[in-house]
Structure 1
Amino acid sequence: MYNNSSYTIEEVSQLLKISKLTVYDLIKKEELVAYRVGRQMRVDQQDLEIYKSKNRIGTVQKEDNHLSGENKETQHSRQVVISGQDVVLDMLSKYIEKHTSHTPLRSYNGSLNSLVAMYNGECDIVSVHLYDGDTEEYNLPYVKRILVSQPFILMNLVCRTAGIYVKQGNPLNLKGWNDLAQSKVKIINREKGSGARTLLDEQLRINGIPTNSLKGYEDELTSHFSVASAVASGQADAGIGIENVAKMVNVDFISLIKEQYDIVILKTNENVNLINVIKEAVTSQEYRSQLEQLNGYDLELTGNVKYETI
């Protein structure tokens, strides 16, 4: 008979009869050992047993008291999972930690994967920068389709410039999306589910460029920084990303589109306070002054509610 030697986060939550957010919090506090396999986090059976042994309580009475205290605490605070990769989310996480009793936990998934995670109840706040080639609109078409049965609020954090990283001096004289299909050009791609990958795929689709005409299309990295670094080191001639990262790496940048970097929060009774906290955060002078220190970000729409279901 086959025995599992490791568990997913969902399986751990079922075994311990706690929420997945609590499991993530235990991992963050290093009370439970975990490791990543690709984008998935897993816990070895042995480490789970070690955690259970360390937290055994001698009597039923003590265990009841422990649980009672835990429930009392969660009445006033909660773990909040924030999914996305931009540094502005790290800044938002620190604001939440500083000004509320909530415990922010960070997940670094791409936009589409984050939305799916929210649909599955695994995230509280997700960032999106998903371009829709049919409407030439960012984010809302995707959010409506994925969260079709759930009320939500879509709010802008920043606007960013997206485009193509090229080697310094742009030796291949690349100018736009169509140039990526040239036989002399090798690209480095982003992973499926990321906003940059969606932008490229949509531009290829609306421009009638088959994906198999791009050399390197199947080669994937998982961040703007790693893509820009691959171009700088000569592993590729071009890659899709955002402008501010180009300033950190020795690459040139071809500006092609202004994108909205928004956040999504589900409108539930549990999230009423969280939504108010986020609105307060993104419109506060403290948060805006931090954003103003960053290169390549436009704050004109910051804090604007782009869409809200009734």
Structure 2
Amino acid sequence: MHKIGLSYSLDAQGGTGEIHNPLMSLLQAVRSSGSISAGAQALGLSYRHVWGELKRWEQELGHPLVLWEKGKSARLSPFGDKLLWSERQAQARLAPQIEALRADLERVFAVAFDDSAHVLTFYASHDDALVALRGEAGRVGADGDRLHLDIRFTGSVDAIQALNEGRCIMAGFHTPDVPGVGSLTQKTYQPLLQPGQHKLIGFARRTQGLMVAPGNPRHVAGLADLLRPGLRFVNRERGTGTRVLLEELLARDGIPPEQIRGWHDTEPSHAAVAQTIAAGLADAGLGIEAAARARGLDFVPLMEEDYRLVCLKSALDTPAVLALRALLQSEAWQQALATLPGYRPVDCGRVLSMSRVLPWWNFSRRKPAHR
């Protein structure tokens, strides 16, 4: 069975709700005119080109397309006739879907030709507020500009690596409010972020804690309860900011991770952890309050953390990033953010000092010692 491939064209004249294949045009011209030369003339092509294309397609498809009987006009083979019939059937049956697809493509590509529209590619740690921001950004602003956020959720480490490799313009990651010097947070993020190369932008402060079943039937009050016999934990994958946070909290409290049942059972997002608990497949998991409340779970808060955005210094004043910063600083967005469980608007849209929010960076220069 031969596979079908689709393509589209971009032109200023506008298209029609049809999917065009050049072979079908050749076959229809030969059938209508009764000869290859007349068909070529009708198409504005040379005889040699049409003859060569028909031979190439015959070899590609493994069937004759035109009957070449000496002294007679060229005519389509039974296979060529069936191809044309099949194409007409497909066009007739799929015309509404084809037209809808064409219209959707036109709407999407209209963004590229709209000088007032900005597209910002994000790689970011999973966050419910970013999902809400994407919806808010899609609305036309007072100045007529529109901001389209192309967000791909991944771990915090992978997000910053994607930024450093040029695969996105903006990355999202999260750290404790005041990450300590020598902490796992420092060891994870310091190699990825460089003063003078990266710029931090405030986004939100959110609460992380243990998501548990409704009513908290296992009476989970803190991380130490994860060591209880029979209590099932669901973890986040390595490379996620939440996994870094959890390992740091466990080290602080002297809790051996390997003694937690389910330590190696991982899910890719806060929502997936919450769904695992809601389905009764685990008793607890670390995550954000919004994900727990959205699925009817109880929540045991442990700490607040800052979710920040990072871009290269060269991108800070580009139209798309400026539009994002303006949106984050708007009263409408900050009011919307405050309605999400466990979120507070803190430093929204502000460019932050890396030495202030990530205190392991010390820009002070020592004076040279006198000899």
**TM-score, normalization: structure 2?**
0.58
1:192 is aligned to 2:238: yes
Cross-structure match for 1:21: none
Computing the radius of gyration over CA atoms, which structure comes out larger, 1 or 2?
A: 2
Greater shift in the superposed pair: 184-193 or 91-100: 91-100
Greater shift in the superposed pair: 94-103 or 79-88: 94-103
Name the amino acid aligned to 1:81.
Answer: T
Q: CA deviation at 1:276?
A: 2.2
2:185 touches 2:244 (CA, 8 Å); kept in 1?
no
1:80 to 112, 120, 130: 120
Percent sequence identity over matched residues?
Answer: 26
1:216 and 1:273 map into 2 onto residues whose CA distance is 46
Name the amino acid aligned to 1:88.
Answer: A
Greater shift in the superposed pair: 265-274 or 139-148: 139-148
Q: CA deviation at 1:269?
A: 5.3
Structure having the larger proportion of residues in strand: 1
1:256 and 1:167 map into 2 onto residues whose CA distance is 16
1:93 and 1:138 map into 2 onto residues whose CA distance is 31
2:118 touches 2:320 (CA, 8 Å); kept in 1?
no
Greater shift in the superposed pair: 119-128 or 299-308: 299-308
- Two-structure CA RMSD over aligned residues (Å): 3.5
1:222 is aligned to 2:263: no
Spell out, residue by residue over 1:171-207, the C-alpha distance to the aligned partner (whole angstroms, 9 max, x if none).
3322212221223221011122222212111112233
2:217 and 2:257 map into 1 onto residues whose CA distance is 23
Spell out, residue by residue over 1:34-91, the C-alpha distance to the aligned partner (whole angstroms, 9 max, x if none).
xxxxxxxxxxxx89xx46x655999xxxxxxxxxxx9x95998664212232232234
1:253 to 299, 308, 333: 299
Q: CA deviation at 1:118?
A: 0.9
Structure 2: unaligned runs, 5 residues or longer: 12-21, 23-109, 356-362, 364-371
Q: CA deviation at 1:268?
A: 0.7
2:204 and 2:187 map into 1 onto residues whose CA distance is 19
Q: CA deviation at 1:124?
A: 1.2
Q: 1:140 to 1:298 in 2, by over 3 A?
A: farther
Q: Equivalent residue of 1:239, what SS?
A: strand
Q: CA deviation at 1:273?
A: 2.8
Structure 1: unaligned runs, 5 residues or longer: 1-45, 59-69
1:80 touches 1:124 (CA, 8 Å); kept in 2?
yes
Cross-structure match for 1:268: 314
Cross-structure match for 2:156: 111
2:266 and 2:285 map into 1 onto residues whose CA distance is 10
Looking at both structures, which has the greater relative contact order when contacts are Cα pairs under 8 Å and sequence separation is at least 6?
1
Alignment of structure 1 residues 226-305 onto 2, 5 Å: 226-268=272-314, 271-305=317-351
2:297 and 2:338 map into 1 onto residues whose CA distance is 23
Alignment of structure 1 residues 12-27 onto 2, 5 Å: none
Alignment: residue pair count: 251
Greater shift in the superposed pair: 244-253 or 267-276: 267-276
Q: CA deviation at 1:154?
A: 1.2
Greater shift in the superposed pair: 264-273 or 96-105: 96-105
Q: Equivalent residue of 1:268, what SS?
A: helix
Q: Equivalent residue of 1:247, what SS?
A: helix
Q: 1:291 to 1:183 in 2, by over 3 A?
A: same
Q: Equivalent residue of 1:216, what SS?
A: coil
1:133 touches 1:203 (CA, 8 Å); kept in 2?
no
2:123 touches 2:154 (CA, 8 Å); kept in 1?
yes
**TM-score, normalization: structure 1?**
0.68
1:308 and 1:140 map into 2 onto residues whose CA distance is 12
1:126 is aligned to 2:166: no
Q: 1:76 to 1:86 in 2, by over 3 A?
A: same
2:253 and 2:167 map into 1 onto residues whose CA distance is 35
Spell out, residue by residue over 1:259-280, the C-alpha distance to the aligned partner (whole angstroms, 9 max, x if none).
1111112111585333322221
2:273 and 2:236 map into 1 onto residues whose CA distance is 7
